[in-house]
Structure formats: C-alpha cells, structure tokens
Structure 1
Amino acid sequence: MSMSNPVQELRQNVAIPFEQAQAMPPSVYTSDAFLNEELEHIFAKDWFCVGRADALANAGDYTTCELAGQPILVIRDNDGDLRAMSNVCLHRMSTLLQGSGQTRSIVCPYHAWTYNLNGSLRGAPAMSLNEGFCKDQYKLPQVKCQEWLGWVFVSLNAEAPDVKVQLQAVESMIAGYDMTNYTEAFQEEHVWDTNWKVLAENFMESYHLPVCHAGTIGGLSKLEDMVCPPGHEAFNYHTILKDDQLRIAMAHPSNDRLKGDERRTTFLLAIYPSLMITLTPGYFWYLSLHPKGPGQVHIRFGGGMSDDYKDDPDAQQNFKDLKALLDDVNVEDRGCTEKVFRGLSSDRAAPGHLSHLERPNYDFAQYLMARIDAAKNS
C-alpha cells in the first residue's frame, strides 16, 4: 500500500460504513507526515489531560508536560486556582520546572530568574544596569486550563470550546459514579515503543482481553457482556459488566445513586484525543497519551478509589492488590501494542475488517479525519 498520502488513505478508510469497516491503514501510524497533521490539528487544538486535580491540591503543587512541542506547566497558585502557563523562561528561554512536585516559586535553573505562582516575575539577579529592563513587564504566557469532574485539562487553543460543554453527555451518563469524588492514589509516567493510536485503540476495545490478558483478567472478560454503542463527537465508550470477585469494582453499599446492573457496570471512556478512563463504581484508572514520534508514546498512568470506600478498613489493601494487577495488565498491553506497531511497520501489513466489538475504533478514526479536514477547510 502506498504511504505517500496517509491523509487521503484515511479519508478513503472512513468513507466505508461501520458494517463493512476495516482498521486504519498502516501509514496513519508510521508516517511522520501524518504525525505532523496530528500535532498541528489535534494536539495543538483540542484539550489534553494532565491528570487529577486532587494531585494538585495545595499552593505550589505542579506538574509539567509537553503538548504539541510546547513545554507547559500546571500549578496551583496562592489563590487556590489552577493555572497553566508556558514552562519557558522569558530571559534565555530555558525550560523551568521538570516533572511534578511542589514549589514556593518558579525558579529558572539557568540564571535564577524567579516567577511567582501566577507567572509574574518576582526577581532577576544582576539586571539593574540594563536600562530597558522592567520587571513588571514580564509574565509567563498563560495557557487555557479547565477542570472537569476532577480532571485537569489544558489547551493551546484559546478558542477551544469549554470541556464541560463538549463532555456534557459523558457527565450525564456517569452521574451516579460521582467521578469528581475519586481520589488519586498513584501517577506514573512511561514511554512505550508503539504509536499512540495503537495504545488508544487497544484501550477502546475489549475484544482483545481474553487473549492478550489471558494471564490476568482475560478469564473474567465475557465478550457477550460488552456493549459498544456508536460514539459521540468528543468521545466514545463501551461498557463491561463485572462480578463481585473484585469488591471495589462494585458500588459501595452506601452508594444509593446506582441501581441494578449499574452497580457492577464498568465504563471505558475514550475522551478525545487521548484520555482513556476505566471507571468502575469503586475505582478508576487512566492513561493520558501523547506521541513521541510515530513509534513511541508518552503515557501518564494513574488511578485511585471512589471516596465511598475511604472509610472501609480493607479498601486500601484491596486497592494495593488492584494496582499490582494493573501493573501486570500493563506488561501484557505493552507486549501486545508493541507487537502491533512492529507488524504494521511491515511492507506487507494490510488492515483487516473490524469486529462489532471494535466500534469505538471506527469512531476514533472518524474523529481523527474530521479534525484534520476541519483544519484544512477553515
């Protein structure tokens, strides 16, 4: 298959109705040209999740990311507000903060220019002899930042529609879970040798669970209990019913918001472009993905429990056991998704038809094409 025009190849792919659909063409995953389209028209325009707000609860708590090539920091300021801003010093343009942590001020590691938590310049050593220097004229450029159900999103696009508006349908669908009141217990960062879309699609379908996860959760996954409705403009989802072998996957006895099968329903939410949330009535875990070239993906991996369980004496041990299981599941997912990328990089790779259990993958391809076409037609 020609890789000269991956955008056109995807356009042809998504023109086919779901009942006849095939997986996306290999060039969409392997070409630098398509990655550039994604960075310019998707990651630079849509919302990107940096994690949970409760992980940034106190003044000076911060995290950093690179979004479409732009270094960004997100920090809780002294007024209690979350702010996102450029993570680049306004002097000689070093990056400022690294990773995640806590700080009383933002200090450049190169010349110690120091910024307040709101981005204004507090002080700059040895600048008094420059007649043009005025401290009050310096403030780190601000980046759009919003919180939604406990998640923190940033966007480089000042015109991006509010997260709450885009995801209102999600909010209504999962209201009984009260996702705002889930507390993060861990967050990690990883890099895997696969394309970010391969990992996103791996999350979007549970068709692979019985095989890829045969050593962990595969035996608990019944294909007949998976429901994959058509997706929405800003997200897709599917659901799985779980049994009570893992108690903290069930609604807590004190939860009177969920009824019947809702009390054991797991939602697998794919918030475009790259936030993947497994939400059970008792716990959640998530992946927030960003490409590092066609063949690597940077992963923000985190999870925690519903506050419904916070006073149960065995809940922490149950979650500790769950985290160990999730780590094993990740090892399996890494193996599967890295094999997929190696395979689709072959000259002889060709996409096959999709199962009805891969409806979210079809909708994801439609989203990618729609975003790229909208940018080209604007």
Structure 2
Amino acid sequence: MNIHDPAAELKANVAVPFEAARAMPVSVYTSEDFLALEQEHVFAKSWLCAGRADALKEPGDYLTMEIAGEPVIVLRDRDGGLRAMSNVCRHRMSILLEGRGHVRAITCPYHAWTYNLDGSLRGAPAMDMNQSFCKEAMGLPQIRCADWKGWIMVTLDPDLPEPGEGLAEVDDLVGYLRMEDYVETFREEHHWNTNWKILAENFMESYHLPMCHGGTIGGAVDLRQMTCPEGFAGFNFHHIQKDDSIALSIAHKDNTELQGDERNRTWLLAIYPSLLITLTPGYFWYLCLTPDGPGHVKILYGGGLHPDFARDAEAPQHFETLKGLLDAVNDEDRGCTERVWKGMQARNAVPGALSHLERPNYEFARWIAARMPTE
C-alpha cells in the first residue's frame, strides 16, 4: 500500500470487521486529491438534496446549488413541475442566477440572453445579425431532478436509479410518518471550518451527546442504554424514544393514527452521501452538506412541522422555542466538529478504535471506499 494514497488507506481501513474498526485515516479528510476523487466518484454520481420541495411553491420560484463544481438551477416550471438545469449561460458562460428567489424568465446579467422556465432560449439581443446563430440549439442543458418524499433530489448521473429504488427501506422504517407532508418553516445557509465527513459522522452517532451537548440535550442520554443497528446500502439510521419535555417531539394530541411507540419515536436518518434528517412525529430538521475544500463545508440547515402541528394555532410558539434549542445544539456541534478538524492538522493525529455506538461511521466509511477507483 502506498501510504501517500488516501483511497488505498481508506480501503485498507475498512477491510477489517466492525469489531476491529478504527476511525477513517486523517488523509481522507485533509487531502485535496482525495476531495477531488469524492467530487468525481461520490458527489457527481449520487442523488444530492437541494432542500424541501415546498420551498418552491409557485412557477418561477427557484434556488441554486452546486454539484461537484457544477452550478445548477432548480425551479418550478410553468406547469408546476420541478426542473433542474445548468446555471451557466450558453453565450459567454456567466452564472445566471444566485441564491434563491422568483423569476418570470431567466436573464443573464452579462449580455441579457433570456431563457424560459423550461430552459429554452427566449431571446438574445441582436444575435439575429449572426447568420450562424440557431436559437433552438442554445437551451440550457437539463439535469435530472426528482421529488422524493418531499425532498428535492438532483443528480448529474444520467444512469443512476431513481431515489425511491435505492432508498426503498426508508419506507419500511418511517413511511408511517409520511415525510412528504411535513411543512418547512425555516431554511438557512451556514459555512463551518471543518471537513464535510466530520460533520456527517457527527450526525450519525450519538456517542458524543453527553459531552458535546452537555449544555443542552446531553444530560438525558445514557450511553449504555443506546444501540446502533446495521444500516442499509444507501443510508444508516438510529432512533430514540422521547418524552413530552419538548412539546413537538411527540404526536399531536388530536392524532389518532399513530399508536404506541410510534407516538414518541425520533428517527435519525443519514442518506448517503450528505442528507441528514431528524424526523419526529411533530417536527423535522435537516442538514444538506456540500464540501468547500477539505477544511470547509457549506450547510443547508432547515426544518419544520408535521401537518398536525402546522395547522395548530399554538404551534408557532412551540416551534420558536424548539428552534432556539436546535440552534444551540447546532452551535455545540460546530464547536466539536471544528475542533476535530483542527486536531487533524497535528502530526500526532492518529485514528482510534470506534465505539459500538459508531457503527454508522464504519458503514459510511465503507460506502465511500466502495466508490473510490481501483488501480
């Protein structure tokens, strides 16, 4: 094995059974070369989440994202369907739209070439004077987009199976909650000084809860009472039974469909590679991760309510309290994950043995390793 080859180091790292597993090698977090492999073989070949479908309510509502360096527009077209397309003008290659908003048409800020909401070119000033110009050939390239259980999923891979095929087991676990019906109430963008995988792994395991979240939720955690089941090919998960100390953590009092433990079970789903969902009978929150170099990650952070609570006049006050707690937990996670990134720069940084509560991290490492090219 070439010790300067992070992909080879990772493959060797996950070639042992879970009982003997260690954390991923430092090089897979810090190496620019390994990030380039991730962009090509993980992000460019996976379904990635752009947020919730109800963030785009009306025709012309749009948001932008980036997949492996490729700028993408996602919008509601005139027929009300979700559509994704290149965010690069077909003229001199300017970026067309930024952030999110509403447009009647997509107009390039450089030379005013204008595109319809289906990506076809509507107009190009004075280009009729160029005899070789063909407007019909200048539409924006289309990119695959799907609504999977209320999540906007986008991929650059034309051959990837639909999200529902690769994530069929999600229905077996949480289908009874009808995730697609939840209503988003906030959506924010953050930027942290850590590697994207450090944050993903942090979400996947609850071993860190007592210490990292000692100021918020950690005091209620008993590590010896927790388990982490085996995950599936496309995601890992674990769940927690909660009491009514948070008003929205359990099913609404008027809900008669959910019975027994279903009424207070919280699910944590890590959809590979970078969609992290916490789902309860009352609310949900999520993170979508995009690497920005080895030591930075762009985070889409959002959440909202089960429809029962979305209709409840008292729910906004409850959610305001909950959002304060979520923000505080997020701040604690930021501190912990940024310290891990800083520690990885040390010459004495060596990965240690995994806890039994870190099985999801091992499975995540194996999933990434399986996507790395072989020599």
RMSD (CA atoms)? 1.4
Q: CA deviation at 1:284?
A: 0.4
Whether the aligned pair in 1 keeps the contact of 2:236 and 2:360 (CA below 8 Å) is: yes
Q: Which residue of 2 aligns with 1:104?
A: 104
Give the whole-Å Cα distance in 2 for the aligned partners of 1:222 and 1:116.
Answer: 56
Q: CA deviation at 1:329?
A: 1.1
Give the whole-Å Cα distance in 1 for the aligned partners of 2:190 and 2:27.
Answer: 25
Deviations 1:24-61 (A, max 9, x none): 11011000111111000000001110000000111011
Give the whole-Å Cα distance in 2 for the aligned partners of 1:136 and 1:27.
Answer: 47
Give the whole-Å Cα distance in 1 for the aligned partners of 2:220 and 2:156.
Answer: 41
Deviations 1:307-342 (A, max 9, x none): 011222211111111111111111111110000001
In structure 2, the CA distance between the partners of 1:313 and 1:116, relative to structure 1 (3 Å rule), is same
Q: CA deviation at 1:272?
A: 0.3
| Unaligned ranges ≥5, structure 2 | none
Give the whole-Å Cα distance in 1 for the aligned partners of 2:91 and 2:214.
Answer: 54
Q: Which residue of 2 aligns with 1:155?
A: 155
Q: Which residue of 1 aligns with 2:327?
A: 327
Residues 112-261 of structure 1 correspond to what in structure 2 (within 5 A)?
112-261=112-261
Give the whole-Å Cα distance in 1 for the aligned partners of 2:176 and 2:221.
Answer: 23
The amino acid of 1:288's aligned partner reads C
Give the whole-Å Cα distance in 1 for the aligned partners of 2:235 and 2:248.
Answer: 26
Residues 262-277 of structure 1 correspond to what in structure 2 (within 5 A)?
262-277=262-277
Whether the aligned pair in 1 keeps the contact of 2:226 and 2:357 (CA below 8 Å) is: yes
Q: CA deviation at 1:6?
A: 0.7
Q: Which residue of 2 aligns with 1:54?
A: 54
Q: CA deviation at 1:2?
A: 8.1
- List, as ranges, runs of 4+ consecutive aligned residues in structure 1 with deviation greater than 4 Å: none
Whether the aligned pair in 1 keeps the contact of 2:183 and 2:310 (CA below 8 Å) is: no
Q: Which residue of 2 aligns with 1:10?
A: 10
Specify the SS of the correspondent of 1:44.
Answer: helix
| Unaligned ranges ≥5, structure 1 | none
Whether the aligned pair in 2 keeps the contact of 1:177 and 1:257 (CA below 8 Å) is: no
The amino acid of 2:201's aligned partner reads E
Is 2:307 the counterpart of 1:280? Answer: no
Give the whole-Å Cα distance in 1 for the aligned partners of 2:361 and 2:180.
Answer: 27
Q: Which residue of 2 aligns with 1:91?
A: 91
In structure 2, the CA distance between the partners of 1:335 and 1:2, relative to structure 1 (3 Å rule), is farther
Give the whole-Å Cα distance in 1 for the aligned partners of 2:331 and 2:361.
Answer: 22
Residues 36-55 of structure 1 correspond to what in structure 2 (within 5 A)?
36-55=36-55
Q: Which moved more, 1:215-224 or 1:128-137?
A: 215-224
Whether the aligned pair in 2 keeps the contact of 1:226 and 1:238 (CA below 8 Å) is: no
How many residues are paired up? 375
The amino acid of 2:152's aligned partner reads V
Whether the aligned pair in 2 keeps the contact of 1:3 and 1:27 (CA below 8 Å) is: no
**TM-score (normalised: structure 1):** 0.97
Q: Which residue of 1 aligns with 2:35?
A: 35
Give the whole-Å Cα distance in 2 for the aligned partners of 1:123 and 1:3.
Answer: 55
